[in-house]
Amino acid sequence: PRHTFITSNGENTGIILKNFGSYNFESLVLDAPATGNYTLTFTASGLLNATQAFSIMSGPSARLYIPITFSLSPTDTIIPTLSYTSLKTTTLDRVVVLILDGGLNYIYDASRNVSVTVNNNGNLTYTVQNSSMGYVLFDDITLHNPAVGLYTLSFESTGLQDITMDISITPGYSAILDTCRSNANLVRNVSSGLCVEEANYTSAALVTLRDFTVDVLDAGRVFVGSNWNNERRDVHVHVTKFEGVDGSVVRYSSDLSLPNPINVTKVVRDGKASPSVTLSHPKAGTYSLLLTSFCPFKYCGNAIYPTMEEDTLQVKIIPGTPYDLRFHVAPPAVNENDFRV
């Protein structure tokens, strides 16, 4: 049986003293008894046994419990899942929470609302559920951008002992580009969220940016390494914004309707190095370089995120040494010999 008949301190033993015809057992304890019929048997050497039958009924609601298995129907059984991969929205498989009495008996209590919390500052969303069906079924518990690690979910209801469930999040699918993570010369600006190169460049006919590595992370910002190399993703870079030293701002679109000042001079395989990125005759100012990645269906037919979350690298170019003469205003064709250089 599930219950324990406590006898460790002799609670089940008594002595009938001389001149007394009975003994009162005052400390008999059944620990966590299941509902049902029980029989106590009293024995003494040389005497006939005596028995006492009694029943245990369901008690008041006392605690929450997550069963190892729970059948909603003959063909629908729920078993808790304890391990997931990190995705932008990691939705847990269905979880059933039961309401038990003090003896751990499942009881039909339709009056309870159950809520969920998570540790580790996890970003959790769900719908509060009611026990109107005699149990509580959660089917939309979602962790948003969970980092790799162990999470403890706590299921709570007013007046009842709560129950916890541990789940683990393992490295997941490629989701995010990060330019700052592996480059000591780049820092993430807390206010803007941009990756910024601290050292400036000097303007010249061709300015080649220092090599940098773009990391691919999962939704929890964990480096995926070589887990998804079969997808053969490319990372593309182009200038999206230029802020001149005079305060002017130029924005570039991806359709190249405005000539883009950037030139990618080579393409290398994932994990080897970054392409050499060159600016041709760049003006002094701040350039915002957008890094994107899209994996076509040919290579990523089962991709969860064909387009990854982009990142922006910001570099600054300062005025260089005199290099060339250019007409500020082109001279007229005839009858004029005054012009500015």
| pTM for this predicted structure | 0.69
**CATH number (domain holding residue 224):** 2.60.40
Residues pairing with 55 in the sheet: 37
The DSSP line for 161-197 is B-EEEEEEEE-----EEESSTT-TTEEE-TTT--EEE
Q: What is the mean pLDDT of residues 43-50?
A: 88
The three-state secondary structure class of 267 is coil
Residue 318 pLDDT grade (very low, low, confident, very high; cuts 50, 70, 90):
very high
How many CB atoms neighbour CB 293 within 10 A? 22
Please tell me which residue, 313 or 236, carries the higher pLDDT value: 313
How far apart, in whole angstroms, are the C-alpha atoms of residue 37 and residue 69? 26
Tell me, yes or no, whether 180 and 311 share the same domain: yes
Q: Is residue 332 part of a domain?
A: no
| CA within 13 Å, CB half, 132 | 3
Q: Is residue 22 part of a domain?
A: yes
The three-state secondary structure class of 333 is coil
Mean pLDDT of the chain: 85
Please tell me which residue, 39 or 294, carries the higher pLDDT value: 39
Max alpha carbon distance in the chain (Å)?
A: 145
Please tell me which residue, 24 or 66, carries the higher pLDDT value: 66
Tell me, yes or no, whether 92 and 157 share the same domain: yes
Range of the domain at 7: 1-57
Please tell me which residue, 211 or 262, carries the higher pLDDT value: 211
**CATH number (domain holding residue 160):** 2.60.40.10
8-state DSSP, 85: E
135 contact partners, CB below 8 Å, separation of at least 6? 70, 96, 97, 98, 99
Q: What is the mean pLDDT of residues 322-334?
A: 71
Q: How many domains does the chain have?
A: 3
Tell me, yes or no, whether 81 and 53 share the same domain: no
8-state DSSP, 231: G
Please tell me which residue, 271 or 73, carries the higher pLDDT value: 73
Long-range CB pairs of 17-26 (<8 Å, 24+ gap) are none
Residue 151 pLDDT grade (very low, low, confident, very high; cuts 50, 70, 90):
very high
CA 269-272-275 angle, 5° bins: 70
What is the pLDDT, as a whole number, of residue 257? 55
Tell me, yes or no, whether 209 and 162 share the same domain: no
How much of the chain, in percent, has pLDDT values that exceed 90?
41
What is the pLDDT, as a whole number, of residue 261? 65
Please tell me which residue, 277 or 201, carries the higher pLDDT value: 201
What is the pLDDT, as a whole number, of residue 341? 55
Tell me, yes or no, whether 165 and 280 share the same domain: no
What is the pLDDT, as a whole number, of residue 336? 62
Boundary of a domain, candidates 31, 57, 83: 57
Boundary of a domain, candidates 153, 170, 187: 170
